[in-house]
Amino acid sequence: MTTPTPLNKFATALATLGPIGHFPKAPGTWGSLAAVVAAPWIFLPFPLWGRVTILIGVLIVGTWACSQAEKTLGEKDPGCVIIDELLGQWLTLLFFSAMPLWYLGLAFVLFRIFDIFKPWPIKWSENAFPGGLGVMVDDAVAGLYALVSLHLINYFL
């Protein structure tokens, strides 16, 4: 655990999405829920290239913030660090700009299932990359699983 500087405090606040990561139970679920609730206003209105740019920005900033938060908090992938849920949840919604409201709920459930149970290569990716990148990448892979599942459900419905 390092002595928190103002920059480390800022990085940790980003990594925890402010107070959301400090909710007493299931911070990852709360982070995913916050991402789904925010998506119609700050993610989905953008064209595809804009959403991809946002995801790249979240990956870069999130990787840095998660790395700093791990150092500040003195543990690997602390439970309160939930910016990775934002990345994974928004990745799940990447190709769905106009959708019925229940798709948001389904996207939430699918992402949480893959993030919690971590089928291969999700668990592998968490440990294959160092620091904050490993924290971010495993949720990105879970988001890809959920994205494909959402598309398949959409196709068959």
Q: Looking at the domain assignment, is residue 56 inside a domain?
A: yes
Tokens coding 101 = 């409201």
Give the number of other CB atoms < 10 A from CB of residue 73: 20
What pLDDT does 1 receive?
Answer: 61
Is the pLDDT at 98 greater than 80? The verdict is: no
pLDDT at 2: 61
Quote the number of domains for the chain.
1
Answer yes or no: is 1 within a domain: no
**pLDDT band, residue 43 (cuts 50/70/90):** very high
Range of the domain at 34: 6-156
Nearest to 86 by CA among 124, 125, 145, 135: 135
57: in domain = yes
pTM equals: 0.93
